[in-house]
Amino acid sequence: MFVHIRDLQYRYSNSDHLTINKFNLTINKGEITTILGESGSGKSTLLRLIAGLEMPSKGNIMVGDDCMCSQSKFVQPERRGIGMVFQDYALFPHMTVSENIKFGLVKWSRKDKKARLQEVLELVNLEGYEKRYPYELSGGQQQRVALARALAPKPKLLLFDEPFSNLDADLQIKIREELRKILKTTGVTSIFVTHDQEDAQALADRIVILRGGEVSQNGTPEEIFGTDCDISDRIAVKPRVLSRT
Amino acid sequence: MNWIRNIKSNMNSWAILSIVFIILILLPNLSIIFQFFSEPNENWAHIREYMLNTYIKNSLILVVAVGVLSAIVGSSLAWIISAYQFPLRNFFQWGLILPLAIPPYIGAYTYHGIINYTGVIQTTLRNQFGVTVDQQYFDIMNMPGTIFIFVIFLFPYVFTITKAFLARQSTSLIENARLLGSNPWKIYFKIVLPLARTSIVAGVSLVILEVLNDYGVVKYYGIQTFTTAIFQTWFGLGDLASAIKLSGTLMLIILGLLIAERVLRGRKRFSFTTTKVKLLKPVQLKGVSKWVAFSYATTVFAVAFIIPFIQLIYWATLTYEQFFSEDLLSVIGNTIMVALIAATLITIMAIVISNFSRLHRGLTAKLFPKVTILGYSIPGAVIAVGIVTLFIGIDKFMYQNTLVSSYVLSTSIFMLVFAYVVRYLAVAYNSIESGFERIGTSFTEASRILGQNITKSFFKVDLKLIRGAIFGGFILAFIDILKELPLTLILRPFNFETLATNAFQYASNEMIHEAAVPSILIIIISAIAIYFFHHVLERE
Amino acid sequence: MKIKYFLLTSIILSVIFLAACGDDSTSDGDSNESSEEEINLYTSRHYDIDDELYKEFTDETGIKVNVIKGDEDELIERMKREGEQTADLFYTSDAGRLFRAKDAGLLQSIDNDTINENIPENLRDKDNKWFGLTKRARVIVYHKDRVDPSEVKTYEDLTESKWEDKVLIRSSENIYNQSLLASFIELKGREEAKAWAEGVVNNMARDPQGGDRDQAKGVVAGEGDLAVMNTYYLGGMLNSADEEEVKVAEQLGVIFPNQETTGTHVNVSGIAVTKHAKNKENAVKLIEFLSSKDVQKQFASANYEYPVNPNVEPAETLKQWGDFKEQDINLSILGENNAEAVKIFNEVNWK
């Protein structure tokens, strides 16, 4: 059990509605988990809670052996060792690709930084782009820089917030596959948030369906969508396996 | 348990500093706010019956008219200059901020000086053409004239803040709208105005506050406003308590409006964090529209800067000789030094408070900083009373406990600098807040997730992205301090003269010719600062 | 990165600077108590001639004059709060404000023969707590071509119906008008004073606007025939750098009102030693100096104010208007009645 979330609850200030309610989740090391939900289901909030960008009103979050958050403890995001790829990438516009990637390598030696830069650039297939500025890159390239930047400090856990929503359809499929390959190569545990079933199915080892801030289903893609129907059918198919939590 | 955790994890140095700063700002204002709740004395009935009704009406007319007109002038110019290329556009980018360098009361004296019986227009008509005109058509000392003066000398607040917003923010939206074939008018009304709402509101609220706390223009032009009521009560009736009670009322009304605006705005955010932050490329205008844009900008610039400036220069030629002395150099030195120090402090405090406010959830963190506006919302002379009370209180305490051998704080420039901070924090704050608003929070979040704490994130990421807004805030505060008057007059140490006090010395004795030289120097120093600011932005 | 250093450096510099300032004033303060070489002065007068006279005083006596110029009421508030650690002298251009300072217990009596000799009794406080240094008269000016000066002899004449829409006078916010009305309250009682104010409002050619000089210009421009203004403004216009202003002033005649009755309204600029003055002797020396014959002459010629020292003649510009009879009232009354005057102005809607 690498990630362990128990009874998580969250409420935006000046709202009386719980954005996240009694959320429980366990993830094994190296697993790719997708949280699937419609907009407003609380899935992005969930990701922000795990990253430490929001503070839950209740519940615990454990990553590895470390308690990130409990009733008496709250670890600031910069000390969690968790990586995140933002929906809009949030690449620093005033830095080059290499500066962006090296940004998170806080206490690394110059030499290690350089080596790691090359390593991740190779991983995302962007060698030679070091000197470019973000605005000089295409959407797909920007996304890969964002991935490289998140991977570079070797996070324990990697979070993706709607990673494909800014890309057009064919690129999306291509990058999706690439991404799964990269994640499996590095073996990093990761959580995706998406509203797109196709994404979820293509990427995930496990899918969690979120409705109104609560888990409505949790299982492997096969368990949830079945193995034999094609994607367009799946949307209509009633999931066969109910939540195990 | 839970709340200990919450407080602990929210208490970083930014939060602590913000709270300290805000308390410092609040201290001198508190006595004024509390006076609002005091029992009215025997003068109060008189004040209510004879002053408040008409005076409040005049204030409302002024505020609404000046607010609307400066929003229109400021935002339309900001839009034209951000989106289109036409002759002298590059100059107007900073030239249109210059009117801010002219203190409105000097502007008011100057325009009256141009238009009145001995002014250049009537004199020329009389002496060259033998025409003596009907005075009623050459009278600026009335409500429309007052509105005119405020709009032309204050619209740059809206212009600067809105332009900074438009230049960096809206590229994709505006380009899309253009591609969709919208005409400039439609883009202005349908996209620019709603999009830049926050910036325009920020600018307009500065304008309105300046109007509300002005006493120079309205006194000279004979328009009775709420401020008149405050000073009539204090100076005329000799009743400071009621004057402060009136000020406290004004302060609470303004605070209420600002909080309402903030609450109404709610969680609606207008920031975009797409990586494609690129400068809006101005479209080359052609034919008639090119000259329309050019004439519009030129007319505003001429009316708001060139004409009064030339008049001042003419007056200066009549009187300049008496000014050349060593004293003048030290006066210039004082002016620049004190403005630099105060503007730097103000900028730092504004950064700290606004960064704290935007990174913390909860209404308190959003509303708390609104107290920065307090010192800007009421006439300076009243603020001065609060500050004198505070500083002399501290001095007395130290003196009685023999920590010092005489009063230290209230006899040094410290008190004046502090007063400037209390007064003009709002100016820098509004500019910097709207800069932060533009970049949103996701760069900071990305940086924190990559292992940098809030402070490091600020220096490595945020600071670079809002450099323009920070410089903008600094420059606005700097210029405001250069021309500041009531605080400087009363809170300065012995023998401390600035250009503004020099100019006032003459203007208050109706010696506008003599006031021209120090006024021109204020304008020139401001102009250099504005140009420098523009240059820094341009390089980015 | 640069900005970071810029910010850091500025913080450090400001701290150092402020600390240095603090030190500075401490030493100033020390010398205040130990040496006899300076005086601290709060003044609401903003005239170049004052600065020159302080300099002259320093040259003559070696006593340095430290000055803060500000609004009189604000200075009074500052003195109230400063208590024992305050300025030595308070100098202002309105007897009413001197009364306020005295009333607040901020001043002390000075009994000095030289001063008493230089300044006539009616221009001093009855307890010798303040001393008039210059006089200014509030007069009526008229257009020489349009008005026969024999038709206007008194302030009361301004309310007559033949001057309907002909009278120019500035706003009631102005202290000179407040003092004028305060003197009428003393001389004629509240009711008559109010009737006078009402009458003037009825005859106003326009809503009050601008300063005294603007009233003079209004007469010449034909907006009205009569204006009320202080003498030294007219003096300033006659000697202005702008020839158009000179032309305006030359078309105007001066009437000293109420010569056969209560006299023309005068107010003074006056100076007072504060109750807690640390340098009382030096302060007295400055008053002696300012009331001395030579200095009074300079006052008179530079600022077109009337000297208080009976041995000094007014400036040429003023002399041509002749001598006049002044109101015979204790000037402290102006301060006592000031609030009442403001109330009357508001009641009759004198803007």
- Say yes or no: C55 contacts chain B, CB-CB below 8 A: no
Mean pLDDT (chain B, rounded): 85
The reply to whether C54 sits in an annotated binding site is: no
Do the chains contact at B117 and C248, CB–CB below 8 Å? yes
Contacts of C252 in chain B (CB under 8 A): none
Distances (CA, A) of B364 to B96, B254, B371: 37, 18, 11
Q: Are the C-beta atoms of C66 and C41 separated by less than 8 Å?
A: yes
Q: Which of B12, B265, B267, B275 to mutate to test the interface with A (most CBs of A within 10 A)?
A: B275
The pTM of this model reads 0.87
Cβ–Cβ under 8 Å, residues C112 and C287: yes
Q: Look at the block and give the residue holding tokens 């001639």.
A: C49
- Tell me the backbone φ, ψ of residue B519, rounded to 5 degrees: -60, -45
Query: Pairing relation of β-strands A82-85 and C64-69?
Result: unpaired
Q: Residues B348-373: pLDDT tens digits?
A: 999 999 999 888 877 777 777 778 88
Name subunits touching A (3+ CB pairs < 8 A). Answer: B
Which CATH number among 1.20.1250.20, 1.10.287.1080, 2.40.160.40, 1.10.3720.10 corresponds to the domain B12-539? Answer: 1.10.3720.10
- Calpha distance A143→B331 (Å, rounded): 57
Nearest to B19 by CA among B353, B336, B484: B353
Average pLDDT over residues C29-42: 64
Domain ranges of chain B: 12-539
Q: How far is CA C244 from each of CA A133, A173, B106, rounded to the nearest angstrom?
A: 65, 83, 20
What is the distance in angstroms between the Cα of C185 and the nearest Cα belonging to chain B? Answer: 15
Domain topology for A3-81+155-234? Rossmann fold (3.40.50)
Which position has the higher pLDDT, B130 or B478? B478
Closest-CA residue to B377 (of B486, B229, B252)? B252
Is residue B446 within 8 Å of A134, Cβ to Cβ?
no
Residue A61 near residue A106 (C-beta atoms within 8 A): no
Q: For the domain made up of C37-134+267-315, give the CATH fold.
A: D-Maltodextrin-Binding Protein; domain 2 (3.40.190)
Look at residue B173 in the predicted model and tell me its pLDDT: 65
Interchain contact B6–A (C-beta under 8 A):
yes
User: pLDDT by residue (tens digit) across A74-99?
Assistant: 999 988 999 999 988 899 988 999 99
Asked whether the domain spanning C137-265+323-347 has the same topology as the one spanning C37-134+267-315, the reply is yes
Contacting residues of C for B319, CB less than 8 Å apart: 241
Predicted confidence at residue B511, as pLDDT, reads: 81
Phi, psi of C14, deg, nearest 5 = -65, -40
**Does the pLDDT at position B339 exceed 90?**
yes
Residue whose structure tokens are 């402290």 = C332
Q: Look up residue C206 and give its two tokens.
A: 């326009």
B193-207, B445-459, C104-118: range with lowest mean pLDDT = B193-207
Q: Is A92 on the interface with B (CB under 8 A)?
A: yes
- Residue of B281, B359, B247 whose CA lies nearest to B84: B281
User: Above 90 in pLDDT, residue C252?
Assistant: yes
pLDDT above 90 coverage of chain A, percent: 41
Q: Which chain A residues contact residue B447 at CB under 8 A?
A: 92, 103
CATH of C137-265+323-347, one of 3.40.50.2300, 3.40.190.10, 1.25.40.320, 3.40.50.620: 3.40.190.10
> Which DSSP symbol is given to C308?
S
- What DSSP letter does each residue of B307-347 carry, written as one string? HHHHHHHHHHHHHGGGG-SHHHHHHHHHHHHHHHHHHHHHH
Residues in chain B within 8 Å Cβ distance of A14: 363
- Looking up tokens 């109104």, which residue turns up? A212
- pLDDT at position A233 is 42
User: Given an 8 Å threshold on Cβ–Cβ distance, is C71 in contact with B490?
Assistant: yes
Q: How confident is the model at residue B278 (pLDDT cuts 50, 70, 90)?
A: low
Residue-wise pLDDT for B15-57, tens only, equals 889 889 988 888 888 878 777 787 888 888 888 888 888 889 9
Q: How far apart are CA B50 and CA B242, in angstroms?
A: 14
Query: What is the C-alpha separation between B345 and A19, in angstroms, rounded?
Result: 41
Mean pLDDT in chain C?
87
Highest average pLDDT, of B30-39, B141-150, C205-214, comes from B141-150
Alpha-helix residue ranges (DSSP H) falling in chain A: 43-51, 97-102, 110-123, 139-151, 169-186, 197-203, 221-225, 231-234
Q: Count of CB atoms within 10 A of residue B145's CB?
A: 19
Domain ranges of chain A: 3-81+155-234
pLDDT interval class at C17 (50, 70, 90) = low
* Interface mutation vs chain B, best among C173, C181, C340, most B CBs within 10 Å: C173
Can you give the residue ranges of every domain in chain C?
A: 37-134+267-315, 137-265+323-347
The pLDDT, as a whole number, for residue B307 is 96
Instruction: Calculate the CA dihedral of residues C276, B31, B478, B19 and round it to 10 degrees.
Output: 120
Tokens of B323: 């000014």
Query: What was the ipTM of the complex prediction?
Result: 0.88
- CB-based contact A77 B8, cutoff 8 Å: no
CB-based contacts of B483: which residues, under 8 Å, 6+ apart?
B101, B102, B103, B106, B500, B522, B526
Interface test with C, best of B235, B327, B481 (most C CBs within 10 A): B235
The pLDDT value given to residue C24: 43
Q: Can you give the pLDDT at residue C130?
A: 94
User: So what's the pLDDT on residue A231?
Assistant: 46
What is the rounded distance in angstroms from the CA atom of residue A127 to the CA atom of residue B516? 64
**pLDDT above 60: residue B271:** no
Instruction: Please name the member of C74, C81, C83 whose beta carbon is closest to the beta carbon of B381.
Output: C74
Give dist(CA B106, CA B505) in Å, integer. 12
B46 vs C244, C248, C343: nearest CB? C343
DSSP of C84-95, one letter per residue? Answer: TS--SEEEES-H
Euclidean distance between CA atoms C41 and C65, whole angstroms: 7
